[in-house]
Amino acid sequence: MWIMTFQDFSRKNRDLNLALKSPGVGSAMSSPCSSPRDSSSSHGTGRGNGSLNDNGTISAGEGRRVLAERGRRTGANLQDLEVCTRQTMTHVVDKKTGTSGMPVHLMTNLFGLGLQSNWHLYQYRVDFVPELASRRLKTALLFSHEEALGRAKAFDGSMLFLARKIDTVLKLESKTKAGETIQITVTLTNQLPAGSPTCLQFFSILFKKVLKSLSMYQVGRNYYNPADPVVIPQHRLMLWPGFVLSIMHLEAQLVFCADVSHKVLRNETVLDSMHALYSSVPKDRFTDMCGKELLGLVVLTRYNNKTYRVDDIDWSTKPTDTFQKKDGSEITYIEYYRQQYNLEVRDLQQPMLVSLLKFRKNDNLDAPRAVHLLPELCYLTGLSSRALSDFRLMKDLSMETQVDPGRRHQRLQKLAADIQRNPMSRSELEKWGIKIQEQISVAGRVVPPERIIMRDNICNPGSPADWARDTRNEKVISVPPLQNWLMLYSYRNAEAAENILQCLVKVGSGMGFHIEVPRMVQVEDNPFSFLRALQKHVNPDLQMVFCVIPTNQKDSYDCIKKYLVVDQPIPSQCVQGRTLSKQHMMMSVANKIAMQMICKLGGELWAVEIPTWQQCNNDLPIRIVVYRDGVGDGQLRMVLEYELTQLLSSFREIRSSYSPKLSLIVVKKKCTTRFYKQGDRGFQNPVLGTIIDCEATRPEWYDFYLISQNARQGTVNPTYYNVLYDDNCLKPDHMQRLTYKMCHLYYNWPGVIRVPAPCQYASKLNFLVGQSVHREPNVQLSNKLFYL
């Protein structure tokens, strides 16, 4: 966990200077999902999912365990929903909405479920006398009393869920085929309102069956339709269109949230990847490289449309080998795939992929712990690192995956219509009293654009999301002159080093940044020459080290950063020679580099008007606002009970009488709720500065959505803020406006960003330390933005 105080980040920000981010805390990783195990073998069949069966039962091993543990896959997390923080903040107990800004009407991707106001889920314990071991037999005997129980029922072997209330204790009697009389006692144990965590997760499992009836497959948390793929032949890619779904209890009603999703599949098998790797690496390193490339990847077997994680490669097993089926007979892998899926295996020398199975409490001790998969039949999913760096590929892919508001609205309307038209899905929902209603509209507000304060002027940017032109024409607020600095470059980049120096001097003059000629040192063209030059020429009096790196080799960059961050704490600026090769872009590149250099020297580029900031008074702040990013599902209680307690106790460690007022806000970038407005040109993204703090929020939380970025393509993704603690007692308007202002203060981009600047600074620092430095930075750099 990184706690960062930006005490010199601005001359005016002494009251708001703490950002918190955990590099290793995120959403829980979901294991790959697939069909229940094959009755005859453990080869190519995967992990069991569990769902409501056609007869209304819950698959073995689900039941209460599903309701308690599977929330992270269905979007309703039990631990999060049990955290009620709004009632502890007296200033927002009665009202948490702001009033400033222009009102705006927005559409959402939320659908009402049409439940009656008095709807409840009734939970019963079921006892059998004599006791029965077979869940299937217990289900059949219990469900034979449909007249007493009703149509809407779900049973996991011990707990029964009904949509209506029957007797508190109901006595039933059934007979087995053998004529044995079984006494059944049904006892009411709980009456749950529609908004309870258990009901939310129950509905999520119910909707899983609804989407299954539409021939959709679950992969991770999302549901996809393999029957309607989108093919991108020029890149050998295929997309499964689908949806990410969740059930949420908002301010006034229970809603169904659906958002568009895509699963990227490659028209390349694991065996194809192995062949390509074999021809490009030394033969004695082939097996090791296969492990590095393949382990941990998720693959798809198209013969059953299931996904598996590659946990190991079994080089000793071949397709011609045999395995034992459940009935004890032996069969080869070749023959198994021929009989089971009508597939012919061509490569008889390929190894087998191993995917570990998750242990389930109802598994027998001799149940298989892993499955073997043929590389020839496994297709790679996701994108490789090479593909991610391919600009043309990513552009073509974004044309399909970044769906604009109009297309998104159409696809969501079609999903709702398909659910209503399908007899199975409609019947399943109706018997539980659910009917999907129209998409919900909400009221939002657009706050006024912020004024950008420079040294001699206050700018009103032509575009509220970008004031890059102002940074070139106006002087920055403060920057020390750069007088004693070192420039390192290789012989092939000597001319580029001279050119960038001239451009830096020119753009610096316009910014009010005085740059004198550095000491220039030419080094050899190899990764370690820079380190040797640094060890020879760096001294504590230097203000900055500027390195023109000849290639994009990570080793060179890591050596430089590690030495200048840990051993000799001096701000540094690294630029690739390739970046300086385009002469027509040199001034623009120099402008961006100069901005980073100013920040690393402790300067201030611009500011916004924040009334609670105080001038630097050489004292500890009396107000601290913490924006906590990286909180995964189910971790709110941990943040509230552990991190908040540690923060409060850390103040007393600084000084026994020190007790500043603290606000703790959780920032969530990945949320499924979307907003768009309907105008003369159809559905469009909301404008920058749109705030939603009612109707789409949770009644038990002090929360709001903020749109602080422009989306040139696709649908804008709002950022969700949940105020867990606030003894600053800021009014909702002030909290929301402060958050929006902080989105203007990221000095690496002259525009508004998606999260408050401290979160983005924390992310940059985490990335530098985690990827290159691997050690704690020297404390002498703590007051500078050396990681930009």
Is residue 251 a part of any domain in this protein?
A: no
Is residue 372 a part of any domain in this protein?
A: yes
Question: Which of 138, 170, 193 is a domain's end point?
Answer: 193
Question: Which of 583, 600, 617 is a domain's end point?
Answer: 600
Q: Which domain holds residue 562?
A: 479-600
- Measured in degrees and rounded to the nearest 5, phi and psi for residue 124 equal -130, 145
pLDDT of residue 592: 93
pLDDT of residue 34: 30
C-beta of residue 242 within 8 angstroms of C-beta of residue 223: yes
The sign one gets for the Cα dihedral 571, 576, 579, 583 is: positive
Is the domain of 670 the same as that of 750?
Answer: yes
Average confidence (pLDDT) per 10 residues, the chain, 788 residues: 31 33 28 30 38 41 42 54 88 94 95 90 92 88 89 86 88 88 92 87 88 88 88 88 91 91 90 90 89 89 88 92 86 92 92 82 60 92 82 88 92 93 92 91 93 86 73 88 95 91 93 94 85 93 94 85 94 92 88 94 91 70 92 88 92 88 94 90 92 94 94 90 95 95 93 94 93 92 91
Residue 442 β-bridge partners? 106
Strand order in the sheet with 544-549: 519-523, 485-490, 544-549, 572-576
Is residue 767 a part of any domain in this protein?
A: yes
Is the domain of 187 the same as that of 319?
Answer: no
Structure token pair of residue 613: 């900031």
CATH number of residue 492's parent domain: 3.40.50.2300
Is residue 470 a part of any domain in this protein?
A: no
CA distances in angstroms from 615 to 372, 755, 785, listed in the order given:
66, 25, 20
pLDDT of residue 406: 93
Is the domain of 377 the same as that of 318?
Answer: yes
The sign one gets for the Cα dihedral 275, 281, 286, 290 is: negative
Residue 392, burial from CB neighbour count under 10 angstroms (0-12, 13-18, 19+): exposed
**Whole-angstrom Cα distance, residue 501 to residue 488?**
12
Give the DSSP letter string of 554-575. HHHHHHHHHIIIIIS---EEEE
Is the domain of 635 the same as that of 750?
Answer: yes
Cβ neighbours of residue 408 closer than 8 Å, sequence gap 6 or more? 109, 259, 260, 674, 676, 683, 715
Strand order in the sheet with 169-175: 153-155, 159-162, 120-129, 181-193, 169-175
Is residue 51 a part of any domain in this protein?
A: no
C-beta of residue 209 within 8 angstroms of C-beta of residue 217: no
Q: β-pairing, 222-224 with 217-219? A: antiparallel
Buried b (16+ CB within 10 A) or exposed e, 581-604: eeeeebeebbbbbbbbbbbbbbbb
Question: Which of 161, 193, 225 is a domain's end point?
Answer: 193
Is residue 85 a part of any domain in this protein?
A: no
Is residue 447 a part of any domain in this protein?
A: no
Helices (H), 643-731: 644-654
Is residue 634 a part of any domain in this protein?
A: yes
pLDDT of residue 198: 84
**Whole-angstrom Cα distance, residue 638 to residue 334?**
50
Whether omega for the bond prior to residue 375 falls within 30 degrees of 0, making it cis, is no
* DSSP SS3 for 598: helix
pLDDT of residue 134: 85
Is the domain of 546 the same as that of 657?
Answer: no
pLDDT of residue 217: 87
CATH number of residue 135's parent domain: 3.30.70
Is the domain of 337 the same as that of 374?
Answer: yes
Is the domain of 675 the same as that of 559?
Answer: no
Give the DSSP letter string of 196-207. SHHHHHHHHHHH
pLDDT digits (tens, 9 = 90+) for 739-784: 999 999 999 999 999 999 999 999 999 999 999 999 999 999 988 9
Is the domain of 687 the same as that of 714?
Answer: yes
- Gyration radius of the chain over CA positions: 30
**Whole-angstrom Cα distance, residue 52 to residue 56?**
6
- Measured in degrees and rounded to the nearest 5, phi and psi for residue 53 equal -80, 170
**Whole-angstrom Cα distance, residue 171 to residue 151?**
18
pLDDT digits (tens, 9 = 90+) for 600-624: 999 999 999 887 675 666 778 889 9
Structure token pair of residue 245: 């779904």
Is the domain of 578 the same as that of 612?
Answer: no
* DSSP SS3 for 655: coil
CATH number of residue 272's parent domain: 2.170.260.10
What is the reported pTM? 0.84
Nearest to 37 by CA among 15, 20, 19, 60: 60
Single-letter code of the amino acid located at 248: M
- Measured in degrees and rounded to the nearest 5, phi and psi for residue 299 equal -120, 160
The sign one gets for the Cα dihedral 227, 233, 235, 236 is: positive
CA distances in angstroms from 9 to 514, 600, 616, 766, listed in the order given:
20, 10, 11, 18
Is the domain of 528 the same as that of 557?
Answer: yes
Is the domain of 492 the same as that of 521?
Answer: yes
> Structural domain tally of the chain?
4
Is the domain of 613 the same as that of 483?
Answer: no
CATH number of residue 742's parent domain: 3.30.420.10
Residue 350, burial from CB neighbour count under 10 angstroms (0-12, 13-18, 19+): buried
